Amino acid sequence: MPPKPSKFRKLKPRNPNQKPVPIRFRGSSSLSAVKTVGTVTRDSNTVLTPAGPFPKDKVHLVPKGARVHHAKDVVQVIGADGTILHSSPISKSAGQARTSAGTKPATSVTRDGLVAYCHWHNTDTDDYISNFSTAWTVPNPPHKDNGQTIYIYNALCSDADIFSDDCDVLQPTLQYGETDAGGGSYWAIASWYYSGDDYYISNLVQVSCDDRLVGIMTMTDIDYYDPEPTYSWNITFSGYPDTSLNIDTYDQFPYALECLEIYDCKDSDNLPNGTTQMESILLQTGYWCPDLSWTTSSDSTDDISVTVVEDGIDGCVDINYPS
């Protein structure tokens, strides 16, 4: 459910002259330059996440019932009874911390993994995104298992420079393969929250081919009594309560994305067949649902693409795998 109307600020008229800012990804700006799709270099101190290789000690499982509270200078995991379970000071050099844990910055390696996506930018800072959901069906498993990892997700981002030090990302994510959340040679779902220095994850739940998924991000409350407004969010998959992840943050999320991200895929047999249709896309800003118009980016060299089937409310985009 969207936040209570009484929590919203009075909305201002849209500015028709304001231009959307294109999404940016650190690393190679040309996905067509990737030869071996999504190959990454990791060492024993790193684990794979939807932001690429990440230091092990920077990835945190959030127990069921706990919440992540992101203030200006610290991110805390707070238990259901109010106990502080984890506390991470916010560093001014998060990218440097990640670089020291592996051979390359995660933000650079990741761009070889994000092979196809589409995005929409909400340019009205007063009429902010409050709900974003997408439905899709779990694909058949890849024909060959090569130790690859596949992520399929819808996401909200606080900055155009996704996975940068200053960007927060909400991600209800379907994965194939093993990550720090767990997993293996099967499909599973979890909710992820990226916050500059650290990654926070819900429990991982195994799912089966042809299961219907709905990834949902909902703003549940706004607290105006802090020095800055604090926005409360829930990330989850409908019908899978163990994937629920609650977040408090001062950030807004003006960028919406639909993504395919892959690692260690040597050929097309390491991917599903056909198409994954990201459909029934619903995005709410304030009291209403805007008429979305998606911008796409694809990996033409490896015959991986995202195509817009239908813009607007209840829209649909296709993730197309190599034939």
Q: With contact defined as beta carbons under 8 Å apart, do 263 and 270 qualify? A: no
**Other CB atoms within 10 Å distance of the CB of residue 196:** 24
Burial class of residue 277 in the structure, from the number of CB atoms within 10 Å of its CB (0-12 exposed, 13-18 middle, 19+ buried): middle
Residues in the chain: 323
* pLDDT value of position 298: 87
Half-sphere exposure of 56 (CA within 13 A, CB side): 6
In whole angstroms, give the CA distance from residue 114 to residue 243: 23
Task: Yes or no: say if 209 and 142 are a contact pair by the CB < 8 Å rule.
Answer: no
What's the CA gap between 209 and 201, in Å, rounded?
A: 23
Instruction: Check: CB of residue 42 under 8 Å from CB of residue 105.
Output: no
**Residues 88-110, mean pLDDT to the nearest whole number:** 43
148-157 pLDDT tens trace = 999 999 999 9
In this structure, are residues 223 and 229 in contact, taking their beta carbons and an 8 Å threshold?
yes
Q: Which residue has the tokens 């101190």?
A: 45
Q: What percent of the chain has pLDDT over 70?
A: 78
Q: Which two tokens stand for residue 269?
A: 């047999």
Structure tokens at 237: 């998959």
Mean pLDDT of 62-67: 95
At 26, the pLDDT band (50, 70, 90 cuts) reads very low
- Confidence category of residue 110, pLDDT binned at 50, 70, 90: very low
- Strands (E) across 196-292 are located at 198-201, 205-206, 212-223, 230-237, 240-249, 255-263, 275-285
| pLDDT above 60 (res 106) | no
Q: What is the pLDDT of residues 243-270, one digit of tens each?
A: 999 999 988 999 999 999 999 988 899 9
Write out pLDDT tens, residues 267-312. 899 999 999 999 999 999 988 899 899 999 888 788 899 999 999 9
Dihedral Cα 142, 147, 153, 159, nearest 10 deg: -150
Q: What is the DSSP letter of 50?
A: B
This prediction's pTM: 0.83
